[in-house]
Amino acid sequence: MKTIKGPALFIAQFADDKAPFNNLKDISEWAKSIGYKAIQIPSWDSRFIDLQKAAEDQSYADEIKGTVENAGLVISELSTHLQGQLVAVNPAYNELFDAFAPEELKGNLKGKSEWATQQLMYAAKASRNLGLTAHATFSGALMWHTVYPWPQRPAGLVDKGFEELAKRWLPILDEFDKNGVDLCYELHPGEDLHDGVTFEMFLEKVNQHPRANILYDPSHFLLQCLDYVQFIDFYHYRIKMFHVKDAEFNPTGKQGVYGGYQSWINRAGRFRSLGDGQVDFNAIFSKLSQYDFDGWAVLEWECAIKHPEAGAIEGAKFISEKIIKVTEKTFDDFASAGTDEALNKKVLGI
């Protein structure tokens, strides 16, 4: 077995125009000071990284890596969540996702998709230049507006949707393969890939591509009432990244899974700081350790109640305490009878 690495911190939710959250050096030093060993970098935030430059200029990539390492940390992964979302956008969401793209592409569905695809290509090369082996993203969505089967979906709609999604992602997956990096989709509501079944349908359309993998985040599964522990049994061989994020689901006589159009703080299902929600992290860390997951345990902090800095400080300690230092021997080795072929035959009566 292997010991999970961590704690690491996804710095996207902490980015700010105020120090120490407005540049890579200072936020790295802050993360180190509160107990983190690595950071996950949002590639869309120019305060931390120029993605294209990191892809095209090895010396710049080395500089980024050096800035983090000088603070006593390493980079766990890069993220293209916002760019990945734009690879596939249904026209119903065109304007709602304009903020994720350059100003000149507002309202331009095709232009945004092409730009996003190029961003992912840069991310593959930048990850390689930084010495990384996994990358985080979203799949985007062409079918999310049909997630509930009313009105009835036209025959063949879902199959066609996954064919198109695969068509858009296959060149990107091939680029990640060329650069030796796993592309990990965060299975998330609002994405066509949001649970195990949808991930399997996508895998079929991309011919079981070896670089199509999973960023495991149990908070999204708890809010879907999915068995997030058994999920690991099913898909552990595709889980290459791990977001440690908590959530709670408290349905009432007035509100359930869909949330009644309420704000996060008033939803039955909402994200919480680590330890304040309902996710069984003891079971998760045990299960991932059982299956030799040796990637990073990365805090993605999201909470409608607690202050982010408090959540980050508590989260580093929480993750450190949950990581299991795996054993190098079996607990009952002291009673071992050793290996004796003759004895084995005698015990079996042969």
Q: Quick one: tokens of 20? A: 């120490």
Residue that wins the pLDDT comparison between 330 and 327 = 327
Q: What does the pLDDT read at residue 99?
A: 97
Q: What does the pLDDT read at residue 213?
A: 99
CA–CA separation, 90 vs 165, rounded Å? 11
In the predicted model, is pLDDT for residue 273 greater than 90? yes
Query: Which of these, 224, 323, 218, lies nearest to 3 by C-alpha position?
Result: 323
Query: Which of these, 119, 120, 192, lies nearest to 162 by C-alpha position?
Result: 192
**Residue 39 Cα distances to 54, 121, 266, angstroms:** 17, 22, 31
In the predicted model, is pLDDT for residue 54 greater than 80? yes
The number of C-alpha atoms within 13 Å of 210 and in the hemisphere containing its C-beta is: 6
Q: What does the pLDDT read at residue 335?
A: 61
**Residue 37 Cα distances to 24, 282, 289, 307, angstroms:** 15, 21, 19, 21
* Helices of type H across the chain: 24-33, 51-56, 58-70, 81-87, 109-129, 157-178, 196-205, 218-222, 228-235, 281-290, 308-322, 341-348
Residue that wins the pLDDT comparison between 115 and 335 = 115
Given the candidates 3.90.1150.10, 3.20.20.150, 3.30.70.100, 3.40.50.12280, the CATH classification of the domain at 5-348 is 3.20.20.150
In the predicted model, is pLDDT for residue 331 greater than 90? no
Summarised one tens digit per residue, pLDDT across range 139-158 is 999 999 999 999 999 999 99
Q: What average pLDDT does the segment 7-36 reach? A: 98
Which residue's entry shows tokens 């592409």?
105
Q: What average pLDDT does the segment 119-134 reach? A: 98
Residue that wins the pLDDT comparison between 11 and 338 = 11
Summarised one tens digit per residue, pLDDT across range 187-234 is 999 999 999 999 999 999 999 999 999 999 999 999 999 999 999 999
Q: What does the pLDDT read at residue 217?
A: 98
* pTM for this predicted structure: 0.95
CA–CA separation, 82 vs 98, rounded Å? 10
Summarised one tens digit per residue, pLDDT across range 82-93 is 999 999 999 999
Q: What does the pLDDT read at residue 333?
A: 65
For residue 337, what pLDDT band results from cuts at 50, 70 and 90? low
For residue 329, what pLDDT band results from cuts at 50, 70 and 90? confident
Is the preceding peptide bond at 20 cis, omega within 30 degrees of 0? Answer: yes
Q: Which residues of 150-173 are buried (b: 16+ CB within 10 A; e: fewer)?
A: eeeeeeeeeeebbeebbebbeebb
Q: What does the pLDDT read at residue 1?
A: 83
Q: What average pLDDT does the segment 113-138 reach? A: 98
The number of C-alpha atoms within 13 Å of 44 and in the hemisphere containing its C-beta is: 20
In the predicted model, is pLDDT for residue 286 greater than 90? yes
CA–CA separation, 276 vs 281, rounded Å? 12
